[in-house]
């Protein structure tokens, strides 16, 4: 469980996976803490040191441990507007929603990037998997971990062109 972090937030931001709430140990469990994924989002090119401090929940008398590493972020491309990139689907008693977020385009225009994001969001909100190809771009999707926020990280590539975005929400 991460209890504290330090990083240059102009280069990276923590999207999910950290908490400051203590975890109650279960006396019936043996071993280390449950695995936890920390998602970092690149905001601009640069280098930053990331220090994570965590407390092992199964040994309260044991001191907190630290993990540090350096992250070198390459050019992540131009930021594109995500206004209007929310797909909705009305269910019998609920409205499902998937929104495109953190949209970036490199070696392609924002119009193309927005089209890819829109198609992916509409497909996901319809309870279908994101297509493997959209507009000639090869699509790779990282599904959210079990118990994590419903955020799919999507990368679309075609030659040197690259589009990255998150799809937040669910069905």
- Whether the per-residue pLDDT at 76 is higher than 70: the answer is no
Instruction: Label residues 42-61 b or e (16+ Cβ within 10 Å = b).
Output: bbeeeebebebebbbbeeee
DSSP conformation letters of 76-94: --EE---TT-EEEEE-SS-
The pLDDT mean for the chain works out to 75
Domains of the chain by residue range: 2-73, 78-170
8 Å CB contact between 163 and 108: yes
Say which range, 70-74, 92-96, 115-119, has the weakest mean pLDDT.
Answer: 70-74
Going by DSSP bridges, is the β-strand pair 133-134/86-90 parallel, antiparallel, or unpaired? Answer: unpaired
Average pLDDT over residues 107-117: 92
Q: Tell which wins on pLDDT, 90 or 138.
A: 138
Tens digits of per-residue pLDDT, 16-36? Answer: 554 444 434 333 333 444 445
**Full-model pTM:** 0.59
pLDDT at 150 over 80: yes
Q: What is the reported pLDDT for 120? A: 94
E strand map for 17-93:
39-42, 46-54, 65-73, 78-79, 86-90
Q: Is the pLDDT of residue 119 over 90?
A: yes
Pairwise CA distance, residues 15 & 9, whole Å: 11
pLDDT at 7 over 50: yes
């Amino acid at each position: 469980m991460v209890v504290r972090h330090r990083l240059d937030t102009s280069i990276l931001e923590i999207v999910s996976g950290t908490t400051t709430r203590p975890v109650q140990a279960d006396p019936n469990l043996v071993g280390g803490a449950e695995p936890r994924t920390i998602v970092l989002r690149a905001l601009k090119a640069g280098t930053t040191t990331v220090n994570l401090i965590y407390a092992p929940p199964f040994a309260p008398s044991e001191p907190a441990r630290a993990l540090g590493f350096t992250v070198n972020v390459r050019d992540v491309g131009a930021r594109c507007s995500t206004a209007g990139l929310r797909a909705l689907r009305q269910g019998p008693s609920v409205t499902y929603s998937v929104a495109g977020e953190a949209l970036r385009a490199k070696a392609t225009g924002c119009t193309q990037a927005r089209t890819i994001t829109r198609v992916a969001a509409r497909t996901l909100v319809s309870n279908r998997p994101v297509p493997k190809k959209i507009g000639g771009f090869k699509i790779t999707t990282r599904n959210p971990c079990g118990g994590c926020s419903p955020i799919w990280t999507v990368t679309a590539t075609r030659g040197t062109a690259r589009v990255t975005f998150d799809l937040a929400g669910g069905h």
